[in-house]
Amino acid sequence: MPSPLQRIIELRNELNRHNHNYYVLNAPTITDKEFDEMLKELERLEAEHPEFFDPLSPTQRVGSDINKSFEQIAHIYPMLSLGNTYSVEEVDEFVSRTRAALMGEEVTIVGEMKFDGTSISLIYEDGRLVRAVTRGDGVKGDVVTENVKTIRSIPLQLQGDGWPRQFEIRGEIVLPWAEFDRLNREREFNEEPLFANPRNAASGTLKMQNSAEVARRGLDAYFYYLLSDELPFDNHYDNMMAVKSWGFKVSSVMTRLHSIDEVDKFISHWDVARKELPVATDGLVFKVNSLRQQLNLGSTAKSPRWAIAYKFQAERALTRLDFVSFEVGRTGVVTPVANLDPVLLSGTIVKRASLHNEDIIKSLDIHERDMLYVEKGGEIIPKITGVDLGRRQSGSEPVRFVTSCPACGTRLVRVEGEAAWMCPNKYGCPPQIAGRIEHFVGRRMMNIDGIGEETAALLYKAGLVNNVADLYSLTREKLMTLARFGKRSSERIIEGLEASKSVPFECVVYALSIPYVGETVAKKLARAVGDIDNLMSMSADELMSIEDIGERIANSIIEYFETPLNRRIIERLRNAGLQMSMPEDTDEGQSDLLAGKSIVISGTFSHHSRDQYKEMIERNGGKNVASISKKTDFILAGENMGPSKLEKAQKLGIPIISEDQFLSLLQPQ
């Protein structure tokens, strides 16, 4: 039985891998339900063991859909994802938990349909559409205004009156079933690959460069949330009814619910009735109606606490196992994959499904040529859920995990405290080398235009790039020796490499593929150490003095830089002109107005959420603490401050300040 820390590390590694597969490679290998179950287990363990908190954790991150072909712009308000559940009981718990958090206030829940398309944010000024932006990574997205203008259900000029001078409205771009079927009939006639499902078709259409073709595709849009400093009403439902009067398409499914019983009936009805809707859906969404209550409930790093998504149950099919292949990833972990007789499931043909690790194979007791049950949670990622033992062939042998790396032949080693086997040949195993190159060029790393996953693999296979430093030795002439590479595509890569030399130091640190150093840890390291030379020379104790850097990460960093090959690569990257230090203005927007002060937050607030106040405290040098003690400097108190905290504060003589007093503290004198 693994310890809590071992299980936390195992879950983080698995979830990070699946996040990469889904959002970067666009090749998911597990179901939504399995991912959500793993994420919930991790969230529970992290809550029970706050001493193991890590900002790198998948519980702190959000996904991405950015396409380099479009201009990118920051969202006015971050676009968070929603917490998911497949359980009616957990939706009921969400309602009960929300009421408890609001200290017994009456709570109205709005039930909505969760449309299966691609998220969009529209900005309107003076009643006219001025910008359309995809969700992207939640912080910034792609500007797709010209394509959105072709969607006839989206108003370019608002009707009626009463709208704010400037506002943002969020919704889902969808491809109706009728249009999906029409397009696939055309593609079949033209012997083109068919679209897998309406969601993929909608997302791909929105990113097309030809707006005329976008207009022909027949996209539609439903809207579900309004944001502005001048909202017409203080609740979500009435705002959406106002939105409807301005000319936006708002689903008639949207309903106010006043009890858990009404919530349960809403789920029961739409679990069946959704199949009659003209567009694809994958669940329901439940939101707290009051905007004041939404503000006080706040958000986690990943999702709002005032909303939850209920996912419909997955479809299941039975098909035969052809064989199991074993594939090596960037970190050396070997993943077994079930190769199946093709089977139609949720509108797509399924041929492969991940078996994750040796323990899963053993727990399912999979034999050669077994008949396997396959599910697709959220109608996306296939998962093996069982075996039809009654149809097992006589004499079939159990599937056995390989003992040597299928790529380089090195004997595998078991990862301590985890279910994974990995190849230890880090610098000689081709998939690991190619994987590090693919990681380095990625959007959130060096963002090298013109080099995607396939091109990175091709460059390695052709012998032009054997490590990431070799990228900067590429020339147009070398690239043009490759099949399908012409003058323009080669120039694009050279231009992308040149542009990457201005990528910030924190991204360079992330791009290096230092084990356990993800995006968030890379940022903290870069800001703390200042430059690459400091990072390479620091001891474990010095590294562990940096916030959120534990022993495992510190030792991994030291081991990475003790490897001569990695040192040589760093020097070559430095000589190529990459950013190896932080700029001098990294402290911009921060202050020491609260330096050294320990602050407790209690109650509900009107101007900002609790999470926003916590961020303000940290940004201005203060420290958020959960409980009151003699070391507490003051309490930021809103309405309904807990009586026990009030009593303890008075007993210890701890100052209590209001929202307005706190905000005035942050104004430079």
| Residue 303 contacts residue 80 (beta carbons within 8 Å) | yes
- Residue 622: the pLDDT is 82
| Residue 283 contacts residue 311 (beta carbons within 8 Å) | yes
| Residue 330 contacts residue 281 (beta carbons within 8 Å) | no
Q: Which of 39-43, 137-141, 183-187, 458-462 shows the lowest mean pLDDT across its residues?
A: 183-187
Active-site option among 33, 114, 383, 645: 114
- Among residues 627, 616, 614, 609, which one has the least CA distance to residue 593? 616
- Residue 24: the pLDDT is 33
Strand, coil or helix: what is 111?
A: strand
Residue 386 exposed, middle or buried by CB count within 10 Å (0-12, 13-18, 19+): middle
Cα 146 to the chain's mean position, in Å?
Answer: 26
User: In the structure, what pLDDT confidence band is assigned to residue 191 with cuts at 50, 70 and 90?
Assistant: low
Domains and CATH numbers, the chain: 4-61+314-391 (2.40.50.140), 75-311 (3.30.470.30), 430-502 (1.10.150.20), 505-576 (1.10.150.20), 598-665 (3.40.50.10190)
Cross-strand pairs, 227: 168
Separation between Cα atoms, residue 129 and residue 139, nearest integer Å: 21
Separation between Cα atoms, residue 144 and residue 458, nearest integer Å: 31
Highest mean pLDDT among 63-72, 296-305, 383-392: 383-392
To the query of whether residue 114 is one of the catalytic residues in this protein, the response is yes
Cross-strand pairs, 604: 639
User: For 39-50, what is the mean pLDDT?
Assistant: 83
Phi, psi (5° rounding) for residue 455? -65, -40
Residue that wins the pLDDT comparison between 585 and 469: 469
State the residue for tokens 């990862």: 415
| Residue 208 contacts residue 219 (beta carbons within 8 Å) | no
pLDDT digits (tens, 9 = 90+) for 611-653: 678 778 877 878 878 778 888 999 998 876 766 778 888 888 8
- Residue 66: the pLDDT is 42
Separation between Cα atoms, residue 625 and residue 629, nearest integer Å: 10
- Residues composing the chain: 669
Using the 8-state DSSP alphabet, how is residue 80 labeled? P
Separation between Cα atoms, residue 23 and residue 39, nearest integer Å: 16
- H-type alpha helices, 399-518: 430-440, 453-461, 476-479, 487-499, 505-511
CA end-to-end distance (rounded Å), the chain: 57
Whether the pLDDT of residue 383 is over 90: the answer is no
- Residue 378: the pLDDT is 43
Strand, coil or helix: what is 304?
A: strand
